Amino acid sequence: MSHAAPAVGPGASTPAPVTILLVEDDEVIRRSVAMALERYGYHVIAAGDGLTGLELFREGRHDLLLLDVMLPGLDGIGLCRRIRETGTDPILMMSARGDALDVVSGLEAGADDYVVKPVDTAVLVARIRSLLRRATFTPTAAGTGGRADQAGSPGRLDQSGQHIQSGESGQGQQHARLVFGELAIDTGGLEVSLSGEPVALAPTELRLLLEFAANPGIVLDRQTLLRNVWDYGWDGDTRVVDLCVQRLRKKIGAERIETVRGFGYKLRR
Amino acid sequence: MGTVRSLLHWRSLRWKIALLVAVACGAIALTVGLLVHRSTYERSVNDGAARAFSVLDTALGSTNPDDASGLVHDPAQMPPELVREARAHGEAHVFDESNQYRPEMWASRKLPDGQLVAVSVDMTPDQLSRAALDRHMWKYSLLVLAVVVPLSALAAELPNRRLRRVARTARRIETGDLDARTRMRGRTGDEVAEISVTVDSMADSLRDRLLSEQRFTADVAHELRTPLMGLVTSAELLPESEATDLVRDRVQVLRTLVEDLLEISRLDAGVEHAEPRPVVLAEVVRESLARTGLDARLTVNNAPAAAETDPRRLDRILANLVINAHRHGSGPVEVTIEGTTVVVRDHGPGFPDSLLAEGPQRFRTGTAERGRGHGLGLTVASGQARVIGASLGFSNAAGGGAVATLRLPSTDATHT
């Protein structure tokens, strides 16, 4: 991952605050959301249009991007696409229209999640936290939700798995190399490669792939994925799952993740 | 299986066309057959008469008594008609078919002494050959029909198939697939091409209208929600006070109103589609009631193990019904699940008559309750019920209180 988790910053006794890059053209929203997030302990840098947002993004001081869809000049979807050309930074979109045009295009462009305005600060913060958890979990930081799943999975896979090789046997459960045909996942270094070439995955895509890799050949329904990857309760939008699977397929090969009509998806061994 | 059933569907256009062809062919065959039958009969009568006269003349001119043995001299043995005709005209012939199995041709002449002499010729071979001809005509007519009718049914299959395609497309458009087109314009200049072009252009204009409606709804949503978002977040930032509570309360009301209105316009525009999945109905209802935070007593009577519905929309419906029951009725609110039917009942004054008569109307609440709520909740509930294929009925209980009955489509029906 390109950006380090603030929590494990070197020599920080008081952890540096998480910095959020907010790109929003409505001034009232920009200022009030910035103030509200600062109350929750985040540091906010804000831009009023897409191009300024892109400049601030290139300065690289942020940990997470919060993008409005409708922006003057370069809009949020275009901005999201530009960011995804080079980076895997966590991106949360805010849509006021909330229709398929905004939501689907935003997710297609590579956003990890979206919220519809007006949104309560508590809900927004919950989405930001969930996204940061996905973006910042590290192989050594045991005990997070992500680690717990992974620690369990390699052992289970080794017992059943014809296709799975345990990479470094000395480290055993903690670090495993899962191989599915051309696709190799290092659950320790969190590196994914396809035919030997490294693949850059956005945080949600990586988290989703790990979820599939922990249950190879097993059908995972959208609700389960929404709960385990996005931390949604009962009311998540299943389009988030579908579009993230689409993006993941583009990067690791379409045939690797199979659609089980009416149920969900499964990783082909 | 479906093809066989559709092939045997007797009211299909295919068989109607085949029937028409059969009737036309039958009429032609019958006319030609009758004409042939008639002319053969006439020729046979003329030939028979000529033969009978030649037999008569041979017998009269011969001295051989064997030849004369067939002659009849007694008028009593002759057909009366022959006697009458011969007496009047000097000679006559009559075809006697009184004996069905042995038709005879009589020929008679009046001798110079005024006596009548006659002879009869057996016409059975003629009759047999005529009958054979009739049989042949029947046989070949039927044979041709047996070939032509299935052939015409097959030929009718081509326009039939195009018509079915038009019907299929129209059905797809009806179910919301606005990109469905017949794409058959200009291939043939017939009526089927005309109707398919009409269906396509209808779908085009329908889609254009819907798209502009959707765009408008989305733009309205953007214009309303953007300032609302600033308002919601700013209100959260205010220091706690009584005045802040008032502001937050009104912001919340405004927010609910805007969301309800946007939801109704999306429902009206027909852009909402259900995402059904198998759920345990009782569980969904229980969780939904818990989320409202309001008192509601749940009773479950023989609920099916699994129902297929869109839980998010079901939640919207139930929440709106329960909130409405608390706002306009009074407790206790009772929710009952009976099979795939969910009933929400309160113990208030019941639904107003206008609602029972016309269904929920926007912004129309009972006059007594005006100002409390906006009357959008039930409209939203009705619209969402339509989206998930359920029916939502309103009535008043005998003992007082409003009763809203939500009938979900039964699981069996969704699988067939």
CATH of the domain at A21: 3.40.50.2300
Three-state secondary-structure class, residue B393: strand
- pLDDT at position A174 is 54
SS (H, E, C) B400-415: CCEEEEEECCCHHHHH
Within B75-175, residue ranges assigned H as helices are: 80-89, 124-174
CA atoms within 13 A on the CB side of B313: 25
Classify residue A263: in a domain, yes or no.
yes
- Based on the fold, state whether residues A132 and A166 are members of the same structural domain: no
Q: Are residues A253 and A225 in the same domain?
A: yes
Count how many domains chain A has.
2
Establish if B311 touches chain A: CB-CB under 8 angstroms: yes
> Which amino acid, residue B180?
A
d(CA A20, CA A66): 7
> 3-class DSSP state for residue B341?
strand
* Confidence grade of residue B98 (pLDDT, cut at 50, 70, 90): confident
Q: For B110-139, what is each residue's pLDDT tens digit?
A: 888 888 888 888 888 888 998 999 999 999
In this structure, are A161 and A193 located in the same domain? yes
Q: Is there a domain that residue A105 lies in?
A: yes
Q: In this complex, is the C-beta atom of A98 within 8 Å of any C-beta atom belonging to chain B?
A: yes
Is residue B414 pLDDT above 50, yes or no?
no
Residue contact A29–B230, C-beta within 8 A? yes
**pLDDT of amino acid B185:** 65
Asked if A28 and B234 come within 8 Å (Cβ–Cβ), the reply is yes
Which member of A26, A221, A234 has the closest CB to residue B287? A234
Cβ atoms within 10 Å of B368's Cβ, excluding its own: 10
Span B262-282, average pLDDT: 83
- The pLDDT profile of chain A, 269 residues, written as one tens digit per residue, is 444 444 443 444 456 789 999 999 999 999 999 999 999 999 999 999 999 999 999 999 999 999 999 999 899 999 999 999 888 899 999 999 877 778 889 999 999 999 999 999 999 999 999 999 888 765 443 333 333 333 333 333 333 333 444 444 444 445 678 888 888 888 877 888 888 888 888 889 988 998 898 888 888 988 889 888 898 877 778 888 999 999 999 888 888 888 888 788 988 88
**Interface membership of A121 toward B (CB under 8 Å):** yes
Residue for token digits 């389960």? A224
Cβ contacts of B231 on chain A, cutoff 8 Å: 118
Do β-strands B297-301 and B334-338 pair in parallel, antiparallel, or remain unpaired? parallel
User: What's residue B364's pLDDT?
Assistant: 66
The answer on A97 and A51 residing in a single domain is: yes
Instruction: Judge if A29 and A114 occupy the same domain.
Output: yes
Please tell me which of the candidates B218, B255, B311 has its beta carbon nearest to residue A101: B218
Q: How confident is the model at residue B4 (pLDDT cuts 50, 70, 90)?
A: low
Contact A234 B236 (CB under 8 A): no
- Residue B60: per-residue pLDDT: 83
Ranges B151-160, B326-335, B369-378: which has the least confidence? B369-378
Domain range summary for chain B, segments of one domain joined by +: 11-146, 218-269, 277-415
Higher pLDDT, B266 or B368: B266
Chain B residue numbers with beta carbons less than 8 Å from the beta carbon of A98 are 218, 221, 225
Is residue B257 less than 8 Å (CB to CB) from chain A?
no
The share of chain B scoring above pLDDT 90, in percent, equals: 25
Return the beta strands (E) in chain A as ranges. 19-23, 43-47, 64-68, 91-95, 113-116, 177-180, 183-186, 191-194, 197-199, 220-221, 257-260, 264-267
Q: How far apart are CA B185 and CA B205, in angstroms?
A: 16
- Whether residues A158 and A241 share a domain: the answer is yes
ipTM of the modeled complex: 0.76
- pLDDT tens track for B168-227: 998 988 877 778 888 876 667 788 888 888 888 988 998 888 888 878 888 888 889 999
Among candidates A117, A120, A121 on the partner chain, residue whose Cβ is nearest the Cβ of B226: A117
Take residue A189 and report the two structure tokens written for it: 């270094």
Chain A: closest CA distance from residue B278 (Å) = 10
Average pLDDT of chain B, as a whole number: 85
What would the DSSP string read from start to end of B178-196? TT-----TTS--SHHHHHH
Instruction: Write down the pLDDT at residue B381.
Output: 93
- With a cut of 60, say whether residue B413 has pLDDT above it: no
Boundary residue ending a domain (A81, A101, A136): A136
pLDDT digits (tens, 9 = 90+) for B17-49: 888 888 998 899 899 999 999 999 999 999 999
Top mean-pLDDT range of A35-39, A201-205, B154-158, B397-401: A35-39
Q: Write A145-153 long-range contacts (CB < 8 A, 24+).
A: A146/A207, A146/A210, A149/A210, A149/A211, A149/A214, A149/A228, A150/A187, A150/A210, A150/A214, A152/A214, A153/A187, A153/A213, A153/A214, A153/A215
Domain presence at residue A192: yes
Q: Which of A80, A111, A136 is the last residue of a domain?
A: A136
Give yes or no: residues A44 and A159 share one domain.
no
Using a CB-CB distance cutoff of 8 angstroms, which residues of chain B are in contact with residue A36?
Answer: 233, 236-237
List CB contacts (< 8 A) between A121 and chain B: 233, 236
Q: Which residues are within 8 A (CB) of A48 and not within 5 positions of it... i.e. 6 or more apart?
A: A23, A24, A25, A27, A30
Residue at A1 is within a domain: no
The residue ranking higher by pLDDT, A174 or B302, is B302
Residue B363 confidence (pLDDT) above 50: yes
In whole angstroms, what is the distance from residue B346 CA to residue B402 CA? 5
Domain range holding A79? Answer: 6-136
Question: What's the pLDDT score for residue B110?
Answer: 86
C-alpha to C-alpha distances, B116 to A1, A73, B58, B85, B246, nearest whole angstrom: 133, 125, 16, 11, 135
Q: Domain spanning B277-415: which CATH class is it, in words?
A: alpha beta
How high is the pLDDT of residue B305?
Answer: 67
Helix (H) or strand (E) holding B106: strand B104-110
* Contact (CB<8Å) B229/A26: yes
- Residues of B in Cβ contact (< 8 Å) with A70: 222
**pLDDT above 80 (res B323):** yes
Question: What is the per-residue pLDDT for A144?
Answer: 36
User: Whole-angstrom Cα distance, residue B214 to residue A100?
Assistant: 10
Together in a domain, A128 and A187:
no
| Residues A218 and A113 occupy one common structural domain | no
DSSP tag of A17 = P
Q: Which two tokens stand for residue B74?
A: 């007694």
Domain boundary, last residue among A136, A169, A188: A136
pLDDT, average across residues B306-331: 88
pLDDT of residue B7: 63
Same domain? A150 vs A204? yes
Residue B365 binned pLDDT confidence (cut-offs 50, 70, 90): low
A125/B115 Cα distance (integer angstroms):
135
pLDDT of residue A160: 37
